[in-house]
Amino acid sequence: MSAISRIGYVLSIAMVLSGVARSGLAANAVPPKAKAYEIAIQNFAFAPKTLTVPTGTRVMWTNRDEEPHVITSAGAQFVSSKALDSGDTYTVTFSKPGTYAYYCSIHPMMVGTIIVQ
Amino acid sequence: MTQDTHDSRTDGRRQFLKCMAWAGAGTLWLMKSGVLHAHPLGDATPAIKDAAFSFVQISDSHIGFHRAPNPDVAGTLRRSLALINAQKTRPTFLLHTGDLTHLSKPEEFDTLAGLMQEARVSRRFYVPGEHDVIGDNGAEFFRRFGEKQHDGGWYSFDQDGVHFVGLINVLHLKAGGLGSLGTDQLAWLKRDLAGLSSETPVVVFAHMPLWSLYPQWGWGTDDSAQAMSYLRRFGSVTVLNGHIHQIQQKVEGTITFYTARSTAYPQPAPGDGPGPGPLQSVKPDALHRYLGIRDVRHVQAGGALAVTDEELS
């Protein structure tokens, strides 16, 4: 009984804290600087296939396929991901301007480009 | 997800039996007078008395995959191996044409290796699929399953006068490309075949199709034409691949190409839908269109393996 009430207490604290965090975010009309640009991996393709981002932004891939994929930079310009299973994400911060071609190392017909300006 | 309107309590079992319909699949190959004849496992027992020897090909077990439409890929592989063990004449060896695992994890390799011990065959041969070489260029795969004849992992052996060649086409893939053999392997292949008479039956196996089956989905190998140019002088060449989880065949002169079904899950026919990947919500009455299964209702009723419509021999 006491264990259950303790769990309830911890949960309610957590809910209060997350509520505070959420309302804090909501108060910001402008998205925070650290927002990641998102690329979906779906049907063995990257969407969008070409993405243009400002220097210093984060790019996050999400695997929405039932197949694993591996984000690999053509020419090793950034670190490759591990095998991304369904639902897994991979994030890279692009701190230098340039054109970054990448592909899936196990399904190499899947190609994409990130242009950092 | 499923559009079945029947009693939902039986859905789990029905789903599993559906898996058994198209998985649990392997191909028994009989060598007769230098020509290979294929028989889907689970079909009526073929006449094997005039065969010099037989072997079984299985493929694409994807140990570690656990989603629709097959949450039990270990179970369906085990069923395949039981079918092999049920053959009256023991196959000389078992050939697995890649994608043993889903994510190249050590525990997935462990499971696969353990299950393969259940097959009552004296030898097992493997080539890696792209799922088996993630993160380490196949180091773990080759350590466990490689024949260790050459650094690149490729190998050859002879069985009753037939020359078998195992090729690797899932490594060092280029952006925008397909499967790749590479110049080192092609040079070795040329040397390996050089000493053979043109009457020697040759069997070549690799994971990805060694022909342009459907390049839009990556179903092909960039430099396979070079390999075929070395094989064209032989009177009987059989090319065995996996990767696409369905049976496709093509004859080109004396070269016959064949892709195997998966022991885990089916994939769509070439170009059918937005892309490859597991066919997640295959309805029973549609299965035969994708998989060559003759009677799915029978499978639902009794759990017996369905047979394909293909006349393979």
In this predicted model, what pLDDT tens digit does every residue of B92-101 receive, in sequence order?
899 999 999 9
Tell me the Cα Rg of chain A. Answer: 19
Q: Write out the two tokens for B117.
A: 């011990």
Higher pLDDT, B44 or A48: A48
B1 at A interface, C-beta within 8 A? no
Interface contact A103-B134, CB threshold 8 A:
no
Q: With an 8 Å Cβ cutoff, are B277 and A43 in contact? A: yes
pLDDT at A61 over 70: yes
Kindly give, in sequence order, each residue whose CB lies less than 8 Å from that of residue B238, ignoring residues fewer than 6 positions away: B36, B201, B202, B203, B204, B255, B256, B258
pLDDT of B180 strictly over 60: yes
Higher pLDDT, A45 or B43: A45
Contacts of B68 in chain A (CB under 8 A): 66
**pLDDT of A66 strictly over 60:** yes
Q: Do the beta carbons of residue B276 and residue A44 sit within 8 Å?
A: yes
Facing B277 at nearest CB: one of A44, A85, A106? A44
Q: Taking residues A76-89, report their average pLDDT.
A: 94
Q: Answer for the pair B173, B140: CB distance below 8 angstroms, yes or no.
A: no
Angle B224-231/B183-194 helices, nearest 10 degrees? 10
B102–A70 C-beta distance less than 8 A = no
Chain B: give the shortest CA distance to residue A62, in Å: 16
Q: Do A65 and B217 touch (CB under 8 A)?
A: no
Three-state DSSP string of B217-249:
HCECECCHHHHHHHHCCCCCEEEEECCCCCCEE
Alpha-carbon separation of residue B105 from A85, A88, B63, B125 (angstroms): 12, 16, 9, 20
Q: Quickly tell me which residue has 């981002």 as its tokens.
A: A53
Q: How far is CA A101 from CA A72, B53, B138, B206, B292, in A?
A: 9, 50, 24, 29, 40
Q: What is the CATH number of domain B8-302?
A: 3.60.21.10
Predicted pLDDT of residue B91: 86
Interface pTM (ipTM) of the complex? 0.74
More confident residue, B99 or A24: B99
Beta strand A98-104 with B53-58 is unpaired
Q: Which residues of B touch A102 (CB under 8 A)?
A: 175
Q: Average pLDDT of chain B?
A: 80
Alpha-carbon distances, residue B222 vs A10, A47, B230 (angstroms): 58, 25, 16
Q: Which residue has the higher pLDDT, B20 or A38?
A: A38
**pLDDT at A11 exceeding the cut of 70:** no
* Superfamily for the A36-116 domain: Cupredoxins -  blue copper proteins (2.60.40.420)
Q: Which carries the bigger pLDDT value, residue A112 or residue B281?
A: A112
Domain boundaries, chain B: 8-302
Q: Do B176 and A103 touch (CB under 8 A)?
A: yes
Global pTM value: 0.80
Check CB contact of B215 with chain A, cutoff 8 Å: yes
Q: What is the pLDDT of residue B173?
A: 93
**Residue B310 pLDDT > 70:** no
pLDDT of residue A34: 66
Residues on chain A touching B280 (C-beta within 8 angstroms): 66
What residues does each domain of chain A span? Answer: 1-30, 36-116
For residue A17, the model assigns a pLDDT of 43
- Is the CB of A25 inside 8 Å of chain B's CB atoms? no
pLDDT of residue B70: 83
Mean pLDDT of B73-82: 88
Residue-wise pLDDT for B153-165, tens only, equals: 999 999 988 999 9
Tell me the average pLDDT across B216-220. Answer: 93
Query: Which range has the worst mean pLDDT, A67-71, B126-130, B285-289?
Result: B285-289
pLDDT exceeding 90 applies to what percent of chain B?
Answer: 50
Task: Of A15-19, B231-235, B248-252, give the lowest mean pLDDT range.
Answer: A15-19
Interface touch B135/A83, C-beta < 8 Å: yes
Taking only the tens place, the pLDDT of each residue in B12-66 is 444 444 434 444 467 788 877 777 777 777 655 555 666 778 888 899 999 999 8
Residue A3 pLDDT > 60: no
Query: For residue B131, is pLDDT > 60?
Result: yes
- For B169, residues 6+ apart whose C-beta sits below 8 A from its C-beta are B179, B180, B181, B206, B207, B208, B210, B221, B224
Query: Which structure tokens are listed for A4?
Result: 């259950």
User: How confident is the model at residue A79, as a pLDDT?
Assistant: 95
- Confidence grade of residue B219 (pLDDT, cut at 50, 70, 90): very high
More confident residue, B61 or B275: B61
Q: pLDDT over 70 for what percent of chain B?
A: 78
**Which residues from chain A sit within 8 angstroms of residue B178, using beta carbons?**
108-109
Task: Note whether B71 contacts A: Cβ–Cβ < 8 A.
Answer: no
pLDDT tens-digit profile of B283-299? 444 433 433 222 111 12
DSSP secondary structure string, B149-171? SSTTS-EEEEETTEEEEE---BS
Residues of chain A positioned with their CB less than 8 A from the CB of B218: 44, 107-110
**Min Cα–Cα distance to chain B from A67, Å:** 6
Confidence of residue B86 (pLDDT cuts 50, 70, 90): confident
Residue B113's pLDDT is: 97
What whole-number distance in Å separates Cα of residue B287 and Cα of residue B241? 22
What sign results for the dihedral spanned by CA atoms B70, B73, B79, B81? positive
- Say if residue B177's pLDDT is above 70: yes
Tell me if B277 and A107 make a contact (CB, 8 A cut-off): no
* A78 within 8 A of A70, measured Cβ to Cβ: no
Give the number of other Cβ atoms within 10 Å of residue A115's Cβ: 13
